[in-house]
Structure 1
Amino acid sequence: MSLNQHARLSAAPMMDWTDRHCRTLHRHLSRHTLLYTEMVTAPALVRGGAVHLLDHSPEEHPVALQLGGSDPAELAQAARMGAEAGYQEINLNCGCPSDRVQSGMIGAILMTRPALVAECCAAMIAAQPVEVTVKCRIGVDDQTPEDELPAFLEKIAAAGVRRVIIHARKAWLDGLSPKENRDIPPLEYDLVQRMKALFPDLHISINGGVTSLDEAEALLASGLDGVMVGRAAYHQPADILCAADRVIFGEAGPDSTPEGAVRAMLPYIEAHLAGGGRLHQVTRHMLGLFAGRPGARGWRRMLSEGATRPGAGPELVEAALGQVVRAAA
């Protein structure tokens, strides 16, 4: 399956959430959904030498590295490091509305600098062999998306970008917090769909507000090439990912199950603990596995209260799973 096919459904890059433990869990739920790292800044890799931020396992594939930055030479070097580390896609963040990244000309502020983004993308493409993609908003602040977004897409397409993920909301850098920027600006799916009509050769995925596989199916049926799911894939991962291989990618069942994913995670947890890790570093990503199902509250409570205790290990996870199974019986 090509990366474009995997991109029919993807789990969004989310700071503090989509680390390698989260991605390992998600991969046990879906074999084909495209996964993304948290944003890694190019300065951290190139100037800071923080190569540990590239750590991942081949078992997570297909997986993309998201980079933040605005210096073409630095991004080129960071992209090369990502490709050498084994990532199958390098994604440039042009959508994050955080104050912290604005001050460094990273994220959504780049929507105001399409020529610079194009220069960055061209440098990243020339520096290494894997695909370079862009994740952006429909616009920022007082921009008129109907005018600015096509101009932005035209610039990056001319630089060699063939796949883009569009968060279908504006980012208000002046007046809204990053949290408010995820909910308050209205979703404009129609605008993203018009971009697909304007740029038929671009692979366009839509992001923002998708909370179910049914919604993802409908957006794909509307002519879009892919759907990226963020918070729902994290907080209710089973609802989004367990049936994804069958529903989105056309594979024969059976679907995966959250119970099966828990059991598959046990050897991973043992290896993490043996390497000096703590249980809660993994289980914090597993709290929503049984969301909406019998035993979900007990599952969350057992892991939340017990996983941070000294010596906590896989037996706690097995005990929590046992009470879920009993509650469902």
Structure 2
Amino acid sequence: MEPTEDKAEAYRPRRVLIALDTSPASENALRYACSFVSPGTFVRLVSVVDNPYVPLPLPDRIPLSLDSVRRDLIESGREMLRHAQAQFAGHGLHADTELIELSKQGGDVVHAIAEVATKWNADLLVIGARQHHGLLRWIEGNVAEPLTAHVKLPLLIVPESFAATDEKGPRRILFAVDGSTEVVPALRVGAKFATSETCIKTIYVIDKAARFDNPLPFALFEEAFMAEGKSAMTIARRVLDHVPGHKTAEIVSTSQCRDDIAHTIVREANAWRADLLVMGTHGRRGAARWVLGSVARRVVGITCTPLLLVNSAFG
């Protein structure tokens, strides 16, 4: 069923939580956030100091060395927060800071950030991503996926490789949609970053790539995929029609060999020079459609464009 015209109250990121470490990726996330945060927005900068890891058992002198490392990590976190606060002040914006020491409160980075986001009632969470074999800096694993599962608020991931500028707000927003109405929250949230100078493009990807687990010829499904693509465009148009700026839509497809939907989305974002990519996610195990499951996770690992993930339960 197609959704009725969007009458929901306009989303505004009024409480922005930015999770920082000492990496260049965090610097990029900080600079990108400064470009869209407006006066009157509440901003909180949080740095999580993880426990230094060493194998057990510990030699007698190791605990003293760990204390020294821990103190250095804490001071580095504080310095990053001071630097970030000064960055916002340079843009005429105020930001509060919070340092979390896991050696005192326990837990891990993901749960610590999720807890702050919930207690502080954030409506947007921003993190930087250093993509090395698809991993983020803080933990050996994908921090975006567990964060999406633990918080329902939109998650903005800024890759280290993205060349952030001082221009105000994203100028070219690319929405990747499927044929479901569960992407509507992502469309609504992403649209609120647009201005009259923003270009908006919506894409639906048809997967033509050959798969060993699907020996049937693509031609048998082409008509169904095209119908779903047109439905996806209709859903997007109904949500985005009221949004200012120039809008286009396109049904694209993967190549037939050695390709997938995630790489196609990233190629489209790069070719179109998008400075914000918006996708939906559900934070549950399994996937109803590609945009809600493994594709979004794969895009996190390879995108050079800031990625806004919006949980289908948001709003």
Output the TM-score relative to the length of structure 2: 0.27
Q: Give the number of the structure whose alpha-carbon radius of gyration is greater.
A: 2
Q: Which has the higher helix share?
A: 1
More relative contact order, 1 or 2 (CA 8 Å, 6+ apart): 2
Output the TM-score relative to the length of structure 1: 0.26
